[in-house]
Structures are given as structure tokens and as C-alpha cells.
Structure 1
Amino acid sequence: MGVLYVMGWVPSDTVARLDNLWAGERMKLEKPVLDPRIVIVDIDGKSLTEFGRFPWSRNVQATLISQLVDHYKVATVGYDISFPEPDTSSGYNVLEKLSQTELKDVPALRQRLQELKPMMDYDGVFAGALQGKPVILGFNLSPDQIKGTLPKPLFSESDLNGRELLAYNAPGFEANVPVLQQAAAGAGSFSVVTDPDGIVRTAYLIQQVGEDYYPSLSLATAALYMKARAIKPYMTETVDQLSQAQRDSGGFDALTILLPGNIQRLIPVGEAMSTFVQYHGIGGPQGGSFRYVSAADVMTGRAPAALLKDTVALIGTTAPGLVDLRATPVNPEYPGVEIHANLIKSILDNKFTQRPDWASPAEALTILLVGLVLSFTLSALSPLRAIALGVVVLAAAVGANYYMYTQLNLIFNLAMLVIVIVSVFVVNVAWGYFFEVRKGAALVSRFGEYVAPELVAEMAEDPEKYNMDGESRELTVMFVDVRGFTTISEGLTPKQLREYINLYLTAMSEDIRSSHQGTLDKYIGDAVMAFWGAPVSFNDHASRGVATSLLMQASARRLNQDFIARGWPELKIGIGLNSGLMHVGDMGSNIRRAYTVMGDAVNLGSRLEGITKVYGVGIAVGEMTRAAAPEFAYRELDLVRVKGKNEPVAIFEPVGLVQDVDEATKRELDRWQQALVAVRAQRWEVAETVLDELRALAPERGLYQLYVERLAYYRAHPPGEDWDGVTTFETK
């Protein structure tokens, strides 16, 4: 089986993940050494504090470039940032429009604007700073838009003499505004290649857009630094020596960089003109091979001059909130700009790790020989000597693999060889195999009724991580209930009621388990209880819960259409959602037990489900859920003190994903928030005016009518100056 896997005939995601894990550990074993040629100019928290929030206006970027090139004498600048939109932050466009409309009779204004235009045209200021300077801008490949101007391509299909170069062909791009691109020395794509598991292991050095080929940001920056005259695809073998498969793929397996003095630098590339990223250290200011300098220190002249002179300066960001962090084999939160720095280092050092064409046959032969030798040898040895031999062979395999990587720059997979060594050893000592199988089967049996099948399969691959023991975790819990179920049950025959409730529970359960991989806790009559974050841990458990609640309301509306068509009562559901620290595990009595959650956060979730009826909404979530799922837009409902809790909590109704909310809804949410602020400030007239507007916009929304009634009560019974704006619920 091992031979079949390494030859590519029998795939295995598990083995591939193990190989990827070892590849990351192998890189982390190398001690990082600071490279003085490459410096990262970091738009960090300090820079944002001194120069304002990002994105900065282009005149600030002009200052940064002028300081780097003119003052600090850097050799090359690479921007891990693009500028696809014009910069209108100076207000010049508004003033110019006024001078042509309302203030057109003020000739002095037009004259003064013409005088100020060179200063207020921030794109022009930035372009002036870029002109004649060794600056490479960044651009992003896009699947669905064409924006900005691309740089001059490295070459086109017509330059390949009829051959086909298989590179990633992007349908679109988000490049830089023309005035900036024309002023810059060039541009390169900062798009990265993300593997199916979300990890960046390889990078495209060349990408195609239409019939033209463009460099990556790292390749373009390194080429400018080395004063390269041209970059072309290259065949390391002659056409006659190529296999048929190589001929079919064009035969290009390298890039050649033509340097001054007709020196050629070859860069080996793999599929789609890609190369492995060789990471040095875990990244960041304290864990990599590259020095970080705050952009604020550069612009104010505080940075040491010797640190930047004659270097490649890569401009990027590690500031919290700007989200330029990537998952890599060495660090799940790796600065994106440092990926380009590692690639530039490899180009400058002319040192690339690569997987040779003969790697798979060599791995297959090694597995076959080691497996046969161990199979015959271990059975003839005593247990102690068998253990010693297994350890020695395993250590030799790991050591040889590490040596070939660090000294010969060759990548060989190791996981299958290790699996074969361990498997042969385990089989010879005759233990573990059936134990592991039974453990996986037991896990499937125990959790199968709670979680989606794909989660059970994932858990079965590593059953040691999962059990039903009690523990405390940050989770999100959901309670769902049918409105007016007693009336519904009275209006249906027993058979109809069974079908009604079965259709409803099936739809809700599928939304919970299949769509967002929640854990289905229990049915309580017509009610449903579920939670996210256990047994499989999700960092985005709150987001999954909110997304599921919106999906369930949509499913309920779809079901309701079917029910009404059948002449059945209307279906409406209320959903309460809350996040927080909960106790989760196998709980119950000696007679019956269940995998469930308990705690104050769970109780609040239950209360929120009941509260939806008061506010006339379908979903109510707690403030911790809202904070943990910021990608959704919310309507704040109230500050409440539920029964059993002394501290008030804010409750919200999720409206949808922020990017999906239309402008009309956004305006309605803003006006509603104004009304809520006015109520809490006891400005009854203001609140009433806004509420009247909102009721005219959405007369069906019961929330607005509720607050109108409250206003009438507060006016008749003023709550007093010490009122905290909290609504107290004395019942569940």
C-alpha cells in the first residue's frame, strides 16, 4: 500500500497531512539567521497611532517612499499593497465641483483651486514620489473583476514560439490606478497559493492574465534589486530529451533571469510556474530572518540609517485589524509580507528546495526495501532488540530526510515510510491494531447521533482527542421553539400532527448538523436544543450559530408555504442564541445519560428564546454572541435583566451578513439605534418622532409598536433620573 501511495495510485489525505506537518517542523528546526539585505517596513500599531487609520492617504505614502529612497537610500522597495481606487481624501474633487456649481460665481475660488491642485492631488503627489524610483507596486489577482492598470508584462504567448506555458491564468485583477502604475518601476502579484487545508506552501512566480504573463511581487522586486534585464521561461532539457508528458506541458521547468554581464540565473519551477516557499523561522519581528522597522520610524527619521541602506524594503502590515496574516506550515498566523521576503531571499541566494522527478520511484523503492528487511528481521529478534532496531531505523529515516532537505535542497516525503516502519513493528509485536479500530468504532457509535457524519469521520481519524468527559469550554448554544404549538396541535389530527412535527424537526436538524456542523443536543417536545464548539472545537462557533439561526428561519418560511398549501396552521419559530463558558460532557443519571451543555450561559440562551415573543422577532442573541460574530449586522433590541441573573445584558436580532445588508436596511438600523438612544436618555419626543418614521417604513415590525407602548407608559410613569434603561423580566 505504501508503494502504491507514493507512486500516486492510491491517494490518502491523512498521509498527505502528515507529510505537510513534517515539512513545517523540518523548516522550524532550522535556526533563523537575520538577512541584512531584506527589511520589512511595518505598518504597525504605532504607525497607525501616529499617522491615522489605514488606508493612509497617498501623500502619506509619498512621504514614506521619499524617506526610504531619498533619505535612507534603500535599493528597492516592494509594496505588499495595491492602490486600485483614486485617492479623493484631500477633498479637491468636492471643492472643484462646488466651483462649477453653487460657487461658480466666485472666480477667486477657481483660481485658488488651480494653485492648490498640485498639493491636493494626492495621487499625483504619490506618483511624483514614485517617478524614477526603484519601487515595485503590488496587485491582486481576482476571479470576478478587472480594476486598475497592469504593468508591462514579462512576455506574451506570442513570445513562446508556439509553445504552451502552463501558468495560473487569472480571469481578473485588482491593480493600481494608471497614474501610479505608470510612475512606478513595475508591479507584481501578491496573491498567494492556498492549499485545500488553508496553508500557504507554494507560490506562483509567474501568472497569466489573458495572453500576457506577469511576475509575482517577490520575483519583480528581486529582479529589480539584481538589475535584471529580462525574465524568460526556460527548458533545462533539450526537446529531444523531454518525455511525451513534458512535451505536452510545454517543457518549461525553470525561469531564467538575465543579469548584467549576460549572467543567467536559473530558478527551478514546478507545476504552473510555482515554487516551494522555504520559510525561515516562525515569522514576525521576533521570530524570523528579517528585521522589522516601523513605518512611523521611517517617516519621522527615527529608524537607524545603517539598517536600511542598500536593502530591499518590503512595505507590509502586521497591525491588528488589517488582517494580513496567513496560515503557513510554521505558523498559523504568519505575516503575509514575510512570505514575499522568504521568496526574495531564495531568489537572491539562488537556493530553492525542489522535489526531483525521480522522488516518487526512490520513495517507493525505499519503502519496499525497508518494509521487507524489517518484516524478516523483527520477527527473529527479542522484544528489546526489536524495539531498538525500530527506533534506529526510524531515526535514520528522519535524519536522512532532514539532511537531504537542508544540505541538498531536495524534498522527499517521509510520512509513508514512517508509517511502514511503525506498522511493521506494531504488527510484529501484535498489539494496537484492533484496539485502535475498536476505539474509532466506539467513537462513531457514541457521537454519531449528535454530530454530522463528516465530523464523526474527522473525529474517528484521531479518537484520542475526543471523549465525553466533562469540561468547560467557550461554546454557543441555541434553543428553538414553535410559536403557538398548543393551538397548532388542537387544529390537526394525530397523523397530521406527527407529519407536521416530523417535517419541522427534520428541516431544523439538517440545518444545524449538515449546514454548519452543529451538535444536536435534544428535542423537548416541539423545541430543539443544539450547540457549537464541542465535541469538535470551532473558533467560529458563534458565527456558525448565527448563520444557522438565519438559515433555520428561512427553512421555516419555506415549510410554512407548504403547510399553508395543505391547509395546516401557520409555522413560526423563535430562536435564542448565546455564547459563553459552558460545561459540556456526558451528563445524567445511572439510568439515562446524554452529551449536553449546562451553565449560566445556557440558561440565558433559553431565556432569549422566550424573549423573542416579547419583542416580536424571530431570533435573539446575547452580547457575547454578537461580539464573537462581527461579520453579521444586528438590530439591538434592549438591555434586559432576565430571571435568575442580576447583571443586565444587551440582546440583539441578527439581520444578515454585513455585506448582504442593503442600504435601506442600514438606514433603518441607524434610525432605530437613534430611537433606542433617545429612549434611554428619556428624550421621549425625539424617540417618538423616530419611531413614527420607522413604523411608517415597517408597519409589520412588532418591535416598534412595543416601544411606542413603552413610551406611553414612561410618559405616564417617569422612570426617574437614576433609571439604567434596563427591562427586567420576572418570569422565564
Structure 2
Amino acid sequence: MKKTLRKHAVPIALGMLVLLIFLLHAAKIVAIPFMQNLETISYDARLRLTMPQTLDRRIVIVDIDEKSLAEEGRWPWGRDKVAALLEQLFGRYKVAIVGFDVVFAEKDDSSGLNTLERLGRTEFKDIPQFQSRLAQLRPQLDHDQLLARTLAKHPVVLGYYFTDFQGRASGKLPEPAFGTGSFVDSSSVFVTASGYGANLAEFQRATGNAGHFTPFPDFDGVARREPMLIEYGGAYYEALSLAMVRTLHGAPPIQAVIEQDSGGETLEGLRVGKLKIPIDENVSALIPYRGKQGSYPYISASDVLHGRASAGAMAGAIVLVGTTAPGLMDLRSTPVGAVYPGVEIHANLIAGMLDHDIKEKPAYMLGVDLAQTLLLGLLLAIFMPTLNPVRASLLALGALLWSFGVNLALWQYANMVMPLAATVTMILTLFVLGMSYGFFVEARAKRQISGLFGQYVPPQLVDEMSDDPGSFTMEGENREMTVLFADVRNFTSMSEGLDPKALSKLMNDYMTPMTRIIHQHRGTVDKYIGDAIMAFWGAPLADTDHARHAVTAALEMQRTLAALRPQFIARGWSDIRIGIGINSGMMNVGNMGSEFRTAYTVMGDAVNLGSRLEGLTKVYGVGIMVSEDTKNLLPDIVFRELDKVRVKGKDIPVSIYEPLGPTEEVGPSKLDELRQFQHAIELYRARQWDQAETCLQSLQQAAPQDTLYPLYLQRIARFRADPPAADWDGTFVFLRK
């Protein structure tokens, strides 16, 4: 063990340095800049993964939506309408409590009472009838007093907000939850405010209950938490959700849950009766999102006003009055939606408090995170550099699974939030460091593979093979493969007209793009035989699509050569054309030769047939010819049957085909021509010479450049004069290669 540690001292030391950095980050001594972003991403992912995504009918949102604004007029509505809304909720629908996610900050002059009173003080001050009638109407027309009287009758919690604008204060604040100086010894960092926007004094006096709905977005603008207490003027004011839960429980005073430690007092939670609300270092509660928008029933405010809502949907419910209308600007960015109603955030908090389902981050979680970081970091830093890639990957995977498992278990079953991103990032960093140390070993393996196969296979296959060099050998073995032979036609006569330099340049300019195409289609170049190229697919790297890669490579070779041909002619070179033969089957592949020279090549009957097919392309006037074995492996490529032949050295007839391309690329006219030719071949093999000749003549007339149809017409003429044997099955016999 000591020898191993000494051998890997450098990567182990680097791993220890990485561990130290992450330990300092976990202890909040050093901040890694991007880690805060990763931590919020991981928090949001855990939240979305574990949300119940069910409908909670205990809390109903009465929505001042677009429909309500269209029916009742723009906001703010008259206080008489708000009072009517409350009377409907408590009288008709029997709700338990109502909270307002809106502020009533200005007086309501919509009834015209101010104008009547001004007239009563001026023009009509001496008219008793006017004064009497005004006195009778005043209670009905004073909408603010009407709303105040309604508020006093029912359990209603008003909403208000705090602001950072110095000196901005309107309305009347409720009594603070905690007085000045309550937490002077606490290490908690309260959200502080410089101003506020509250409700009219008569409303606040009427109900006595109010809570702030001040947003507290994270650094990225996303609402993940809500301050339960905000400090203003030295006193501390409760949130709307907390005030509603407290009102539901008979309005007991809020109790602070204090944790004493060496650093002093830490405010760890707030208690309302038997309910404990966990809070973080900013005295904020993590919002327990139930799901995306719509996790609580929404009822249009206008439907409540006009009695159109279902009574059963709200009986005994906790009601929040808020808005989803975009123009009223109460939409926030959250982990569960980029546009999310603020009123539903309060609903989530109320449900979380009632269900004891608010996540907590106790002070001791810092120690747990430090211990886990230390243990996992030591394990990986010491052992990662000493392991092979597979075992190192398994070790890193095990550490990741442990980290995810512990974290999710604490999240789901203990309702605790433990940092995750830093631990995962440390594991991945140590893994990358360990793998980087093993780079030289991998590079050496790659050089070995390149030394064995680099002259045959393309670089991308060398990269794949170097991942597991032990799996490849140059020893002979049998495999199902595909072989390709490509040969330049009339090369001898073409070369006679060129000087050696021009011929060399011609062959280089021809061979290079052809070889590149073979490599791009995962082929192995066996050898160059003068002007011919021999290549195969399926070795040394296994290839289940060997036939497809070979045929698509051949098609591309012909297309590329057709594009190069004008350039060659412009240089004074010949009109180069090639024939390509392809066959698939069992072949022997490996290092073969003599004690003086060996080569990694393929041998066997299937290879020989591929060579014979290349030679037959000249006879049939086609650029590519494949065997039936290759054709049967490619059902989605269109082939033209050329013939059934018996080549020299083979007793069994072979069906030969010309590939035309993928089915979707072959046009209807070509498919029709194929059907006609197939019919002509059937007539030919049935010795119906006249009908076959008629079909072939029609095909020749439509495609005079195709040399296949004249070939069959010549055979028919010969068979008329010298009929084939009685047992003839349509096979054509070639007596030479």
C-alpha cells in the first residue's frame, strides 16, 4: 500500500488540495463563485422531483382575474364591492377565514358622498330635508366605513408590504409580532425595511389582523423563500401566511425557538401553538411548492360576487383573495414556473405550516455536510489515482449514489435541506483529476493500437479501440463481414498516355477521396492493388451494419468520382470510371503472410466472390454490383436485379444486384422501370423470348444509355438460334474471371 501511495503521490496530493478547497467552501470560509448557481439548480431539481402535484382543496384562491376585471371594472374596486365579496364568502359560502393579498391604502370616493357633504356644507346647508336625507344615506355611501364594519364581523387578515424606499410610509401598520430589541443577541440576519405600504387605519383597527406579503427573491430573482419576520424600526412584523395560520389557531402569540451555541443565540424557528415553522438564517421559510400553478382551486371573484361559485367548493375553506391578472403585477419567478401568482405562494406556505411540511436547515447540518465532504473526499483523493478507469468510474459512481441517496433521504423523510452541488462537484472534479492522471496510460494504449491497426483503420475507430485495447488482436478469426473491391476501368490503356508524374498525381487525387469515404463509413482499407482498392467492414472493430456502411460508401464513391471527373478531364486526364463489387458473408480475418512479411487482411470464398463481382461490373455496364447476401441485409435500399450467374470457381449460382439508393430517394419513374425490367427477366427465364424482347426493347427505347438491356437482347437472339438446355434455370455461366 505504501508503495502504491508513493507511486501516485502527485495525483493524491492534488486530490487533497481539491478536497481542502471544497472543505473551506462547505465551512463557509471560502466561496466558490459558481457554486451558488449550482446549488440553486440542485435545490430546484429536488423540489420539482418530490412535489406531490395534487390539488389541495383546503385553501381556495378567489382570483381577481381578467374575467372579474371585465365584469366588475378596473381595480381597485369600490369598498362596497369588497364588503359584498366578504359577505358572500362568509354568509353564502361559509368560509373559515379570508386573507387579502392586496392593500387598501387609499380612501374610496366612488360613491359621491364627498360631493353630497360639500353641498350640505354650502348650497344646501339650510335645507333640512337634504340634511336629513344625507344623514340617512351616509352609512350606505361611506364605503370605507361599510368595509370596516364588515371586517370587524369576520376573521379577516389584511395584507401589506414593506419596501426599501427610505421614508415611504402609508397607512397603518399592525401591532408587531415582537417588540423592539427582541432579538438583539441573535445571530440571525433579519430582512430589514425602510418603508411600508399598509391599509387605511380604520381597516386595520377593524380587523386587528394583518401580515406582510413582501417578496424576498434569491440572487437570481427566483422566489424560493419568504421572510416570516421583517424588521422595521427595531420591531418585527409577521408574514401574511403566518398571520393567517395564527388566526386560524385562535391568534396565540408567536414564540421564538432559540438555539444557544458558542456563537450566541440562533433563531431556528417560530412556534404558533403546537406548530413549528422552520426558518433559515434570514428568518425566512422555504416555500413548499405543491406543484405548478393551479395546485389550489381558483374561483373568479366575479363568480363569488354573483353567487355563481359552487358552495361545496368553499365551505370551511381558507380563502386567499389575490390576482393573476398580468396588469396588477403580482406574478413572480419560481422554481416551478417562470410566471407564478404571488397569491399561490402564500397558499403553499399556509399548507406547509399546517402539514408540518416546510423544509428546515438546522445549524448542525453544516457539520454533517463537512463530515460527508471530508470522508468522500479522502476516499476519492487517495484511491482514485490508483484504480483503472473501470474501477475508478465505479468508485465515483458509488460516491455519487451515496451523496444523492443521503441527500434525498434527508429531504424526503427528515424534511431537511442538505447542500448537494458542492459534494457532487467535488466528486466529479476528483474523478476527472484521477482520469487525467491515467491519460498517459491510455495514450500508450492508443499508440499500441495505432501501431497495430493505424495503417488500416480510420482515426475515429482507433480512438474507439483504444478504450479497450485488450479486446483486439491480429490473430486470425472467422467473422461475418462485408468486402469491397473498387477498380479503375481500362487503367492500362489510360496509363499509357500519361507520363509517370502525371499518372502518380492522378492516382493520388483519385485514391485520397475514395479512401476518405471508406474511412468516413467505418471501413478498413486492406490494400491498394495498383489502381484497385480493397476494403472491408466488420473488423477489427465489430460492426453490425457492415453491409450498409459498405454499400453507402460505394454509392458515395461513385457520386464523388462523378463530381471529380470534369476536373480530371480539364487537366487532360482520362475520363475515369470505376467498378465496385461488394459481398457479405463469413470471412477469415487476421494477420496473414509469411515470416518475412505479414498483413492484416481477409480471406475466403466470400472475399473471392466480391472480387469476381467487381470484374462483372464491366460486363453489365453498372458502377456497383452486390451479391444476394449483401442485398438481403438491406431491406430499405432499392436494388435492381441484374442476373443469376455462375462465376468461375463457384458451382452454386449467385444472384447479382445493382444498388440504386435508399427507398425514399428513388423516384417513381425509376421504380416503374425496375418493375418492367423484373417482368422482362421473368419472361426471359421462362423462355418467352418474344414477350421478353418486346419489354426489353421498350426499356431500351426509354433508356438508350443503359447497356444492360442490349445485353439481354443479344442473349435472346443467341438463344433463339441455339436454345439453352432443357434444365436451364436462367443462370448465365462465366468461364473466365
Shorter-chain TM-score tier: 0.5 to 0.7
Letter in structure 2 aligned against 1:12: I
CA distance in 2, matches of 1:422, 1:159: 45
CA contact (8 A) 1:20 1:329 kept: no
1:55 to 2:70 alignment:
no
1:206 to 2:226 alignment:
no
CA distance in 1, matches of 2:363, 2:188: 19
1:227 to 2:250 alignment:
yes
Structure 2 counterparts to residues 367-382 of structure 1, below 5 A: 367-382=373-388
CA shift for structure 1 position 8: 0.8
CA shift for structure 1 position 395: 3.2
Structure 2 partner of 1:548: none
CA shift for structure 1 position 302: 1.8
1:176 to 2:199 alignment:
yes
SS of the counterpart of 2:34?
helix
Q: Which has the larger radius of gyration?
A: 2
Structure 2 counterparts to residues 612-631 of structure 1, below 5 A: none
CA distance in 2, matches of 1:274, 1:150: 20
CA shift for structure 1 position 425: 1.8
CA distance in 2, matches of 1:164, 1:28: 32
Structure 2 partner of 1:316: 322
CA distance in 2, matches of 1:110, 1:335: 47
Structure 2 counterparts to residues 488-507 of structure 1, below 5 A: none
Q: Of 418, 425, 430, which aligns to 1:419? A: 425
Deviations 1:19-58 (A, max 9, x none): 0111111111123222232111111111112211112111
CA contact (8 A) 2:288 2:348 kept: yes
1:65 to 2:86 alignment:
yes
Q: Of 110, 114, 118, which aligns to 1:97? A: 118
CA shift for structure 1 position 134: 0.6
CA distance in 2, matches of 1:389, 1:219: 46
Structure 2 counterparts to residues 248-647 of structure 1, below 5 A: 251-258=266-273, 264-282=274-292, 284-285=293-294, 288=295, 290-430=296-436
SS of the counterpart of 1:309?
coil
CA distance in 2, matches of 1:74, 1:215: 23
CA contact (8 A) 2:186 2:264 kept: no
SS of the counterpart of 2:270?
strand
CA shift for structure 1 position 191: 0.8
Structure 1 partner of 2:42: 22
Deviations 1:670-711 (A, max 9, x none): xxxxxxxxxxxxxxxxxxxxxxxxxxxxxxxxxxxxxxxxxx
CA distance in 2, matches of 1:414, 1:253: 21
SS of the counterpart of 1:253?
strand
SS of the counterpart of 1:254?
strand
1:148 to 2:171 alignment:
yes
* Shift in alpha-carbon separation, 1:385–1:219, aligned structure 2, 3 A: same
CA shift for structure 1 position 349: 1.4
CA distance in 1, matches of 2:405, 2:83: 50
* Shift in alpha-carbon separation, 1:367–1:131, aligned structure 2, 3 A: same
CA distance in 2, matches of 1:173, 1:426: 52
CA distance in 2, matches of 1:89, 1:431: 78
CA distance in 2, matches of 1:29, 1:302: 37
CA shift for structure 1 position 160: 7.7
Structure 2 counterparts to residues 719-730 of structure 1, below 5 A: none
**Aligned-residue RMSD, C-alpha:** 2.6
Structure 1 partner of 2:214: 191
Q: Of 245, 248, 261, which aligns to 1:243? A: 261
Letter in structure 1 aligned against 2:39: D
* Shift in alpha-carbon separation, 1:431–1:138, aligned structure 2, 3 A: farther
CA contact (8 A) 1:2 1:364 kept: no
CA shift for structure 1 position 297: 1.8
Q: Of 1, 12, 22, which aligns to 1:2? A: 22
Give ranges in structure 2 of 5+ residues lacking alignment.
1-20, 440-737
* Shift in alpha-carbon separation, 1:163–1:271, aligned structure 2, 3 A: closer
CA distance in 2, matches of 1:69, 1:165: 40
Letter in structure 2 aligned against 1:361: G
TM-score scaled to structure 1, two decimals?
0.53
CA contact (8 A) 1:133 1:185 kept: no
Letter in structure 2 aligned against 1:192: P
CA contact (8 A) 2:385 2:437 kept: no
Structure 2 partner of 1:675: none
CA distance in 2, matches of 1:28, 1:382: 37
CA contact (8 A) 2:229 2:239 kept: yes
CA shift for structure 1 position 399: 2.8
SS of the counterpart of 1:93?
helix
CA shift for structure 1 position 384: 3.7
CA distance in 2, matches of 1:405, 1:60: 45
1:82 to 2:103 alignment:
yes
Letter in structure 2 aligned against 1:270: D
CA shift for structure 1 position 75: 0.8
Letter in structure 2 aligned against 1:139: Y
* Shift in alpha-carbon separation, 1:399–1:165, aligned structure 2, 3 A: closer
Letter in structure 2 aligned against 1:232: Q
* Shift in alpha-carbon separation, 1:372–1:334, aligned structure 2, 3 A: same
CA distance in 2, matches of 1:300, 1:387: 66
CA distance in 2, matches of 1:409, 1:9: 26
CA shift for structure 1 position 162: 9.2
CA distance in 2, matches of 1:404, 1:355: 11
* Shift in alpha-carbon separation, 1:373–1:162, aligned structure 2, 3 A: closer
CA distance in 1, matches of 2:45, 2:189: 31
Q: Mean alpha-carbon deviation: is it higher for 162-171 or for 212-221?
A: 162-171
CA distance in 2, matches of 1:257, 1:148: 27
Deviations 1:186-218 (A, max 9, x none): 111111212222122222212233353321101
CA contact (8 A) 1:378 1:425 kept: yes
Deviations 1:461-501 (A, max 9, x none): xxxxxxxxxxxxxxxxxxxxxxxxxxxxxxxxxxxxxxxxx
* Shift in alpha-carbon separation, 1:78–1:24, aligned structure 2, 3 A: same
CA distance in 2, matches of 1:368, 1:213: 39
CA distance in 2, matches of 1:23, 1:432: 34
CA shift for structure 1 position 355: 1.3
Give ranges in structure 1 of 5+ residues lacking alignment.
259-263, 434-732
CA distance in 2, matches of 1:203, 1:81: 17
* Shift in alpha-carbon separation, 1:332–1:246, aligned structure 2, 3 A: farther
TM-score scaled to structure 2, two decimals?
0.53
CA shift for structure 1 position 397: 1.9
* Shift in alpha-carbon separation, 1:125–1:9, aligned structure 2, 3 A: same
CA distance in 2, matches of 1:357, 1:103: 71
CA distance in 2, matches of 1:328, 1:172: 25
CA shift for structure 1 position 332: 2.2
CA contact (8 A) 1:126 1:180 kept: yes
Deviations 1:536-587 (A, max 9, x none): xxxxxxxxxxxxxxxxxxxxxxxxxxxxxxxxxxxxxxxxxxxxxxxxxxxx
CA contact (8 A) 1:128 1:183 kept: yes
CA contact (8 A) 2:185 2:264 kept: no
CA contact (8 A) 2:357 2:415 kept: yes
SS of the counterpart of 1:233?
strand
Letter in structure 1 aligned against 2:433: V
Structure 1 partner of 2:548: none
Deviations 1:111-133 (A, max 9, x none): 43333222221111211221220
